[in-house]
Each structure stands twice: as structure tokens, then as C-alpha cells.
Amino acid sequence: MPSVSFKQEIFIPFHYVDAAGILFFGHTFTLAHQVFESFVVQALCCSWAQWFQNPSWIVPIKNAEASFQAPLLAGLSCQVQLSIEEIKQNSFSVHYEFIQNDQLCCMVKTIHVFCNRQSKDKLLIPNEIKSQLELYF
């Protein structure tokens, strides 16, 4: 884990859980992406439109996985700690830790790839973005 991670407090709403009051696994990715959007704007200093509606490039998720250690419960807040696990020429990996009541409940990993918006060919990560990502590596 890097010395600096991006942290965000989130709330687990009732409509994201199953009958037992435990977060439905699919919503873990929704919450991770919600934190990622905040990371882009606040930590990478990139406007939402510049990242998600860029006319030149897109950054689709190539892979996503989650591992659960304990249930995430409805009606409680949860801290998500985001760090950059790996940076390559065209892609980077994001690691998320979901902590509730001082317990690690879930880890998520996503791999994002920079691509040309039109051709979908891989692109090098822009230097200004790469340098910001490295702060969380």
C-alpha cells in the first residue's frame, strides 16, 4: 500500500443490500466506481467531462474483481481507500479496500486502459495523468 491513498467515506443504502442486510456483490463495483469518479476529479485534478467525455480518448475497464472478507452492512458508513497498484504504458490498476467498523470487508481491483476514442487502439497514458497517478502508487 502506498504512503498516500485516496480515502472516501460512503454510506451503504438499503436498496443495495439483500434480504440479510448485506451488500449485494454487484453493487460493490458501483460503489468502487463512485469512489473512482471522486478520485479522478479530486486527486487527479481532472474534470469529470475531461475524463469521461474526452473527445480524444476513453479509459474503459479491462478487468474487475472483488474479494470479500466480511459482510458490508446496510445503514452504516464505510471507508474506501483507493491506491494505484500498477502503472504500465497504456494501463493502470486500481486497488480499493472497503473498511467498515475498523474491519477490512472487501477488496476490489480494476484495470483501466487508455484507448483512442475513435479507433479503440491503445494509447500511452498522458504524462500529466501518469504523474498524478504515481502519487498514489
What is 6-135's CATH number? 3.10.129.10
* pLDDT grade for 1, boundaries at 50, 70 and 90: low
Pairing between strand 77-87 and 103-113?
A: unpaired
DSSP annotation of 131 reads H
Residue-range domain boundaries for the chain: 6-135
At residue 2 the predicted structure's pLDDT band, cuts being 50, 70 and 90, is low
The string of pLDDT tens digits covering residues 30-44 is 999 999 999 999 999
Q: What is the DSSP string of 56-122?
A: SEE--EEEEEEEESSPPBTTSEEEEEEEEEEE-SSEEEEEEEEEETTEEEEEEEEEEE-EETTT--B
Task: Say what the pTM is.
Answer: 0.95
